[in-house]
Structure 1
Amino acid sequence: MSKIVTFGEILLRLSTERHLRFSQAKYFAASYGGGEFNVAVSLANYGIPVEFVTRLPKNEIGACALKEMRKFNVESKNVIYGGDRLGIYYLETGAGTRGSNVIYDRENSSMATITKGEIDWKTVFKDVTWFHWSGITPAISESAALICLEALKVAHELGITISSDLNYRSKLWQYGKEPKEVMPELLKYSNIILGDIDTALFMLGKDNLNPNYQNEKSLPVLYDQLFTECPNLEIVATTLRYSVSASHQRIGGILYDGKTICSANIKEVTPVVDRVGSGDAFMGGLIYGLVNDSSNKQRALNIAVAACCLKHTISGDYNLITLAEIEKLLNGDSSGKVSR
């Protein structure tokens, strides 16, 4: 069976409860999360052997983060230690017409201060068939971007499938570099990219296109620009999200393999419990679908969209959904009836 490695930062998540604003909160609910780790949790839930590689502080909070990995059956044997603190993010969950708000506290975290050469990637990638990273890691710091590039070069050399989620976070790119100065060199190794066309072109230093995702005939020409810029690209996928309100989302998806466009029907998701991590749920579902049957890209996309929709019903960063629940939704059962 395929073994997958994801690489990034696990964060302490401090969130207000009952949709309170930061100014109203008397306490915060503590949990953990982070884009690449969320993908690892999804894959572990689906029975895929998965390992998360990160750098933790050697203190009690770092120990708690390590326990979190083990709790969800995510392998952690290549976690390294250093730095003084775990990254934090604060979440104010929106409702109705008020959107959610995230404040990052990640400066000088263990992952932000990681340096090239600290991880033996050839050891990490032994018996590994898939490597996943996201645009969040190179956004944290220049040193994190450099070690991400180091990992990608080794993975590519070893013939490992590489996937990336663009995950543009404007609040994180604060160390003097712009995405267009960093991301092109990283993305050229990716075989699968998740992200909308304009974000991809922005990261590659190109002009926006404002694509009409409803016009499937025009999409191949637009997507082909990404294939030109990223020579190893095989699949590009896009989560289609139409926000009616913070409590009501409409979710679909598009996938293009250089020849054929696949699209998934839009699903209504309301009420939304927590949309944080829903893109990671999409990525986890897509990877699972492609690992199990790379020839059936339509099914992989359908699984990704179903996983994304179901994540909106779960509080916290992780998509704690089973394959049976995904199949139920794919078969048209969205009734939410009690299972007895």
Structure 2
Amino acid sequence: MKKVVTLGEIMLRLSTATGMLLRQANQLSVHYGGAEANVAVSLSHFGYQAYFVSKIPANSLGSAVERHLKSHGVHTDFLLKGGERLGSYYVEEGAGERGSQVIYDRGYSSFSQLEADEVEIERILQGVSLIHITGITLALSPALKELVLQIFKKAKEMDVLVSFDFNYRSKLWSQQEAAAAIKPLMPYIDICFCGELDAVHLLGIEPAEGSLSQEERLLFYYMRILEKYPDIQYMSSTFRTVLSASSNRLQGNLFTSDKLYQSKVYHLEPIVERIGGGDSYAAGILWGILEGFPAQQIISFATAASALKHTIQGDCSSFSSEEVMQFAKNESGMINR
């Protein structure tokens, strides 16, 4: 069984009911989640030994986080205890033409106060096939920027695949700050989750000229990125068309060996929960790569995993790889008898 590691912040999430504004709410639903934690949960349900590296407070909320992770089979051996608070965020669920809104309350969280020397990098990478981190982690402190760079360098020395999701969040930092932190990581990345806007605004790729299709533009940017960073083996992103808060169209893209592979287009309606859809997609890509599947099968699986995640509440997905593959084969909405 392959061992994978993710590192990042897991938070308490407080959400309104659909149709309720935060300023109106007198009760909120509780979930736990974070980009890297969600990927670990999915990979655990896909059958891997998934380890999550983070820091949580030594209080009841920290205990609840640990229980949440263990309930999904995620190993917590590298979960540090300390600091004073668990980061949190509030979600005002969208409806119709009104999109969802997110308010972060994560300043001075235990994870954001993590120092690089607290993490035993060689120990967490021992026997590991892949490590996955996102740009959200870089945004939280200078120490975490340095830690991620150290981890990626050591991973390359230890022949561990490095996966990085840009996951840019404008509420956490500026494009200039993100670009300065991400560019030094690029030579160490094997699997990169990024799109057209990331290429232009964070990597400084010149905008494509002419009347290109969406697919042609993405291929243009991926080729330019590969010219600058030739060691990247895979690049991936999604095309999402937002029709309303509860109706989207979704298609996955995977670039490898100078070719762009695409999934079918899913019409997601009604959407039960959009948060975590990208993390399920990333986990699907990683699973397919680690399993050695052909590129077309990888992108079909990953997009199906994301589509399934949109049908359940909470930040993370608990579908098995067998369930995802069955869903990908079935026609939408068919009863599996």
Same fold (TM over 0.5): yes
Q: String of CA shifts for 1:262-304, please: whole Å, max 9, x gaps.
A: 111111010011100000010011111111124x011011011
Unaligned runs of 5+ in 1: none
Asked if 1:163 is matched to 2:155, the reply is no
Q: Conserved in 1, the CA contact under 8 Å of 2:133 and 2:165?
A: yes
CA-CA distance at 1:21 after TM superposition: 0.9
Give, in whole Å, the separation in 2 of the partners of 1:126 and 1:173: 32
Q: Note if 1:334 corresponds to 2:328.
A: no
Deviation for aligned residue 1:332: 3.2
Structure 1 length-normalised TM? 0.94
Q: Which residue is equivalent to 2:258?
A: 259
- Tell me, yes or no, if the aligned pair for 2:266 and 2:307 is still in contact at 8 Å: yes
Amino acid at match of 1:127: G
My pick for the range that moved more, 193-202 or 235-244, is: 193-202
Instruction: Compute the displacement of 1:221 (Å).
Output: 3.3
Q: Secondary structure at the match of 2:188?
A: coil
Per-residue CA deviation, residues 234-262 of structure 1 (Å, 9 max, x unaligned), is 11011111111111010101111142211
Shift of residue 73, structure 1, vs aligned partner: 0.4
CA contact (8 A) 1:211 1:219 kept: no
What's 2:63 paired with? 63
Aligned partners of 1:19 and 1:93 also within 8 Å: yes
Aligned residue number for residue 41 of structure 2: 41
Q: Distance in 2 between matches of 1:211 and 1:46?
A: 42
How far the C-alpha of 1:142 sits from its partner, in A, is 1.6
SS at 1:54's partner residue? strand
Aligned identity (percent) is 34
| Correspondence list, 1:230-241, <5 A | 230-241=229-240
CA distance in 1, matches of 2:89, 2:333: 34
2:304 is matched with 306
Give the structure 2 partner of residue 201 of structure 1.
200
**Partner deviation per Cα, 1:21-47 (whole Å, 9 max, x = no partner):** 101110111110000000011111111
Letter in 2 for 1:82: G
Of stretches 146-155 and 298-307 in structure 1, the one that deviates more from structure 2 is 146-155
Deviation of the 1:230 alpha carbon: 2.6
The verdict on how the C-alpha distance between 1:211 and 1:153 changes in structure 2, with shifts beyond 3 A counting, is: farther
Deviations 1:99-135, CA, capped at 9 Å, x for gaps: 0000011111111111121101101111101000011
Per-residue CA distance 1:65-84 (angstroms, 9 max, x = gap) = 11111111001101112221
Moved more, 61-70 or 270-279: 61-70
Query: Which deviates more from structure 2 when the two are superposed, residues 320-329 or residues 118-127?
Result: 320-329
Task: Name the SS of the counterpart of 1:22 in structure 2.
Answer: coil
Q: What is the one-letter code of the residue matched to 1:102?
A: V
Give the Cα–Cα distance (whole angstroms) in 1 for the partners of residues 302 and 211 of structure 2: 21
Deviation at 1:218, TM superposition (A): 5.4
Instruction: Determine if contact 1:198/1:210 at 8 Å carries over to the other structure.
Output: no
Contact 2:248 2:269 (C-alpha < 8 Å) held by counterparts = yes
User: Which one-letter code corresponds to 2:54 in the other structure?
Assistant: T
Return the letter of the residue paired with 2:75: E
For 1:44-193, what aligned pairs fall within 5 Å after superposition? 44-173=44-173, 178-193=177-192
Q: Is the 8 A contact 2:196 2:217 kept in 1?
A: no
Offset at residue 212 of structure 1 (A)? 8.0
